[in-house]
Amino acid sequence: METTRLIIVAVGGQGNLLASKVLGEAALLAGVPVRMSEIHGMAQRGGVVESAMVFGDAESSIISDGEADILLGFEPAETLRAIKRCNKNTQVITNTAPVPPFTVAAGLGTYPDVEEIKQLIQAKTAGLVAIDAMSLAREAGSPMSVNIVLLGALVQTGALGFNRDVVEEAIRRRVKPAFLDVNLKAFDLGFKAAASA
Amino acid sequence: MHKLLQDLPGEKIMLLGNEAIARGAVEAGVAFATTYPGTPSSEISLNLFQMSQESDLYFEYSTNEKVALEVAAAAANSGLRTFCMMKHVGVNVAADPLMTLAYVGVTAGMVILSADDPAMFSSQNEQDNRYYAKFGNLPMMEPSSVAEAKDMIKDAFELSESLKQPVLLRTTTRINHSNAFVTFGEIKPRNTRGRFEKDPHRCVTVPAVSRGLHVKVLEKMKNAARLSDASSYNFVQGAGPLGVITNGVSLYYAADAVKDLGLTDRAKILRLGFSNPLPRKMIADFLAECEKVLVVEEGEPFMEEAVKAIAQEQGITIPIKGKSDELFSRLFEYDPAMVREKMAAFFNVPYTPKTSVDTSDVPEIPMRPPNLCSGCSHRATFYEVKQAAKDMDVICPNDIGCYTLGFLPPLSTGDFVICMGSSVSSSCGFSKATDQKVVSFIGDSTFFHSGITGLVNAVFNNHNFTLVILENDITAMTGHQPHPGVDMDRFGLSGYGRVNIEKLVRAVGVEHVSIIKPFKVQKSIDIIKEALAFKGVSVIISQEPCALYAKSLKLKKIRPFVVSDKCVDHRDCITTIACPSFYLDKDNRVAIDANTCVGCAVCAQICPENAIRPLKQ
């Protein structure tokens, strides 16, 4: 079985741990072995949260620099920061809605131009799907569903090899019933947005 | 029902490593569990705490790791299967009972888990606690995966019972915080009531007894060595003249490297999962059938040095390498590409690494360091202390918790942090060794953990400093665990006591004790000034619940603030308190994110223009 290595980067609170659990559940449903690793603790206090998921035969649960097959970024500057995890064959999917770090407000840095971020990633990798996941999440009914919008976009690219039925079933298993409709709508909006991106 | 209590053998479920370990303990019939929380171990105890509320499992958050281990030692000597878990540096705190408990042993299975943190994701050092097993004569087991961790803890209990010796289960962050599918096994019935049978010649460690116990513990370790040589946790996979010896998560990096480098027919791997005592015969046999051996282990050269010693005894002269300038480092974590590269170099096989994209033209991306949360009471307290002490030459020893982040600018209130409790005791030293004013900070949970003894020392030796106890009603950093000062009604639990920090501090003999409510800025500054002027030990207790905890309990009605048009853009709010709810809007003007602002109103009290106002709802 082919090995597919996926890195998810997000800002604490954007729900990347739930996103990776949904993909893990989808892997179980699809009969694909998966290992995943995440970071907790001090790093979570407003910092960057990263999950690594390895699908297929490889046994390691972390991913070295240059070895991600897919990079899924929940925040554009964080997607660019994680670009060293990519090689020229990496498929990148990113949210384009910035969550500027506090250091920008404090005058300690300048937030890069989102168009420039997109161009840089596009030029360096095999492909970029960039969508405004925050607007779509709001359209779905909750800004908290950014993570599921992005899963929709990820699945649409086909990079992971899972079909949407499997991932939607995984969402049903992992998301609380009260939020299910919003999240299924979010998934659909992300999927469609990636198709026309 | 708690998901880890389900009696569903064969059920396949995705679990975090720490959940798998907690489930393994339950399957092993663990009856008694103690801890002090610490990343990366915290979710093990959190799950046991939750399960104890709906079963007859006894669980407690003890005041520190030494207490946790001593409480556990009594249970394990009363016939109960006992589990005591902590982060790696917690074992330092528990080291005193640990060393002698190994002599005394146990009458029922006891597993002590040390969660090591290579690369220091959430720790102050990356010590390799495998040496504790060797140092303390404790059998040790180390899993390589989440699923193995669950099964291994069950065998660790069996091993402990067969040797009547506590067993160290050593994990690393990549086990604790990885997710994988795990298959539930059967839950062994718990024996929850024990009886202590007096045995003073084993349990009372006066010198005459301990001399005999030291002899016995060495005999036990001889037995353990035989078991290690026969253990299925020590195994060889693959075949060929090239040898790899590895442990823990490195097994998978090594196995992937063997495959990726096309060495499947030429290399074999010896995985050591029962790693103290090491299986010396098995290692000798392995070495005898290798042309060269690479040792792949994160941390210190624990296995490498032992393997080299075994080779010397056997007269085996093949190259054995692990840590060196050219090969593996003693620093940080390993990763698959690093292991592949080093293995290719050592075994002389061609290898072209995948190249990362060129990042030379990527603009500098603003840093996103961890930060105190919006509305965190620590931010207010740090600001107020800085204001009260602004004309003084101040040293600020800080401690271990969220508030360690106070060392970052612009708050910059953290000058010396080494371990839990060190804020208080190091203040004693700074106040005697220098003429600088000393103001130190410690959280409430950390104060109970190891701050009290330092404060008693300060009173007795008549030191001169101000200690600020940050009482936020919870152990915040590790995920909101209770501590002895917590109102357990908030957890919906009854039958707990509660220790009042103010009464405790007064009882210790501190003469100048004051209380501040940090969201009342000017009043707090005035009170802090008085405390700073006192000659001797003064304590300020800053009382305000953790903002995240208060939010989760809905303790307060949240009323966010906004920046009004009275703002003249001098940005005192951002530059002095750096709350992450501030951002610059599209006109480059200061604004407040109403979704994250919790309405602490500290910025509103700092703004000289009174431009920050509650949002009209």
* Entry pTM: 0.96
Task: Inspect the interface and report whether the beta carbons of B355 and A110 lie closer than 8 Å.
Answer: no
Listed residues B553, B570, B592: the one ending a domain = B553
Measure Cα distances from A97 to A60, A83, A136, A157, B258 in Å: 32, 18, 10, 20, 42
Tell me which residue of B449, B375, B344 sits closest to B87, measured CA to CA.
Answer: B449
10 Å CB burial of residue B271 (0-12, 13-18, 19+) is buried
My answer on whether B286 and B400 are in the same domain is: no
Q: What is the pLDDT of residues B37-82, one digit of tens each?
A: 999 999 999 999 999 999 999 999 999 999 999 999 999 999 999 9
My answer on whether B392 and B301 are in the same domain is: no
Q: Cα distance from B345 to chain A (closest Cα, Å)?
A: 18
My answer on whether B17 and B41 are in the same domain is: yes
Tell me which residue of A99, A93, A100, A101 sits closest to A149, measured CA to CA.
Answer: A93
At A44 the pLDDT is 57
**For residues B229-244, average pLDDT:** 98
My answer on whether B512 and B565 are in the same domain is: no
The answer to the question of residue B205 being in a domain is yes
Q: Cα distance from B200 to chain A (closest Cα, Å)?
A: 43
My answer on whether B419 and B549 are in the same domain is: yes
Instruction: Tokens 């999927």: give the residue.
Output: A191
Task: Inspect the interface and report whether the beta carbons of A35 and B180 lie closer than 8 Å.
Answer: yes
Percent of chain B whose pLDDT exceeds 90: 94
Listed residues B193, B213, B228: the one ending a domain = B228
Domain span at B511: 377-553
Q: Does residue B45 sit at the A interface (CB-CB below 8 Å)?
A: no
Task: Inspect the interface and report whether the beta carbons of A45 and B336 lie closer than 8 Å.
Answer: no
For chains A and B, CB pairs below 8 A equal: 178
Q: What is the pLDDT of residues A76-126, one digit of tens each?
A: 999 999 999 999 999 999 999 999 988 898 888 999 999 999 999 999 999
Task: Inspect the interface and report whether the beta carbons of B121 and A45 lie closer than 8 Å.
Answer: no
At A42 the pLDDT is 54
Note whether B594 and B568 are within 8 A (CB). no
At B616 the pLDDT is 84
Domain span at A41: 4-196
At A40 the pLDDT is 60
Q: What is the pLDDT of residues B397-440, one digit of tens each?
A: 999 999 999 999 899 999 999 999 999 999 999 999 999 999 99
Q: Pairing state of beta strands B537-543 and B561-563?
A: unpaired
Does the pLDDT at position B538 exceed 70? yes
**For residues B245-263, average pLDDT:** 98
At A45 the pLDDT is 65
**For residues B273-286, average pLDDT:** 98
My answer on whether B568 and B530 are in the same domain is: no
At B370 the pLDDT is 84
Q: Does residue B335 sit at the A interface (CB-CB below 8 Å)?
A: yes
Task: Inspect the interface and report whether the beta carbons of A37 and B174 lie closer than 8 Å.
Answer: yes
Q: What is the pLDDT of residues B92-143, one digit of tens each?
A: 999 999 999 999 999 999 999 999 999 998 899 999 999 999 999 999 999 9
At A140 the pLDDT is 97
Alpha helices by DSSP H, listed for B38-168, are 42-52, 65-76, 88-93, 95-104, 130-136, 146-163
My answer on whether B125 and B106 are in the same domain is: yes
Q: For chain B, how many structural domains are there in total?
A: 4
Note whether A34 and A58 are within 8 A (CB). no
What is the DSSP code string of A40-105? -GGGGTTSEEEEEEEESS---SS--TT-EEEEEESSHHHHHHGGGGEEEEEEEEEE-S----HHHH
Q: Does residue B256 sit at the A interface (CB-CB below 8 Å)?
A: yes
Distance of CA B227 to the CA centre of its chain: 30
What's the CA gap between B152 and B165, in Å, rounded? Answer: 16
10 Å CB burial of residue B419 (0-12, 13-18, 19+) is middle
My answer on whether B109 and B212 are in the same domain is: yes
Joined tokens for residue B140 = 């040790």
At B266 the pLDDT is 98
Joined tokens for residue B499 = 């220790």
Task: Inspect the interface and report whether the beta carbons of A61 and B373 lie closer than 8 Å.
Answer: no
Measure the N-to-C terminal CA separation of chain B; round to a whole number of Å. Answer: 40
10 Å CB burial of residue B87 (0-12, 13-18, 19+) is buried
Task: Inspect the interface and report whether the beta carbons of B12 and A86 lie closer than 8 Å.
Answer: no
Does the pLDDT at position B312 exceed 80? yes
Instruction: Identify the CATH number of the domain in which residue B591 sits.
Output: 3.30.70.20
Q: What is the ipTM of this complex?
A: 0.94
Q: Does residue B351 sit at the A interface (CB-CB below 8 Å)?
A: no
What's the CA gap between A166 and A116, in Å, rounded? Answer: 35
Q: Which residues of chain A have pLDDT under 50?
A: none
Measure the N-to-C terminal CA separation of chain A; round to a whole number of Å. Answer: 30
Instruction: Identify the CATH number of the domain in which residue B250 sits.
Output: 3.40.50.920
Tell me which residue of B19, B183, B14 sits closest to A22, measured CA to CA.
Answer: B14
CB count within 10 Å of CB A51 equals 24
Give the DSSP letter of residue B161.
Answer: H
Note whether B371 and B405 are within 8 A (CB). yes
- List CB contacts (< 8 A) between A8 and chain B: none
The answer to the question of residue B585 being in a domain is yes
The answer to the question of residue B311 being in a domain is yes
Listed residues B169, B193, B228: the one ending a domain = B228
Q: Cα distance from A167 to chain B (closest Cα, Å)?
A: 15
My answer on whether B328 and B190 are in the same domain is: no
The mean of the pLDDT values for chain B is 96
- List CB contacts (< 8 A) between B353 and chain A: 66
The answer to whether the peptide bond before residue B410 is cis (omega within 30 degrees of 0) is yes
The answer to the question of residue B368 being in a domain is no
Q: Cα distance from A125 to chain B (closest Cα, Å)?
A: 8
Q: Any idea how long chain A is? A: 197
My answer on whether B59 and B173 are in the same domain is: yes
Q: For chain A, how many structural domains are there in total?
A: 1
- List CB contacts (< 8 A) between B402 and chain A: 45
For residue B595, the chain A residue with the least C-alpha distance is: A143
Instruction: Identify the CATH number of the domain in which residue A86 sits.
Output: 3.40.920.10
- H or E element that contains A20: helix A16-30
Tell me which residue of B466, B406, B468 sits closest to B436, measured CA to CA.
Answer: B466
Tell me which residue of B377, B273, B372, B367 sits closest to B602, measured CA to CA.
Answer: B377
Instruction: Identify the CATH number of the domain in which residue B179 sits.
Output: 3.40.50.970
My answer on whether B206 and B106 are in the same domain is: yes
Q: Does residue B368 sit at the A interface (CB-CB below 8 Å)?
A: yes
Strand order in the sheet with A68-73: A127-131, A86-95, A68-73, A4-11, A48-55, A34-38, B178-183, B12-16
At B227 the pLDDT is 98
Give the DSSP letter of residue B481.
Answer: B
What's the CA gap between B209 and B192, in Å, rounded? Answer: 30
The answer to the question of residue B337 being in a domain is yes
Select the residue from A64, A113, A144 to test the B interface by mutation, using most B Cβ atoms within 10 A: A64
Joined tokens for residue A60 = 């390691």
Measure Cα distances from B397 to B421, B442, B564 in Å: 10, 9, 38
Residue B158 binned pLDDT confidence (cut-offs 50, 70, 90):
very high
Percent of chain B whose pLDDT exceeds 70: 100
What is the DSSP code string of B195-260? -PPP-HHHH---HHHHHHHHHHHHHHHHHHHHHHHH-TTEEEEE-SSEEEEE-TTHHHHHHHHHHH
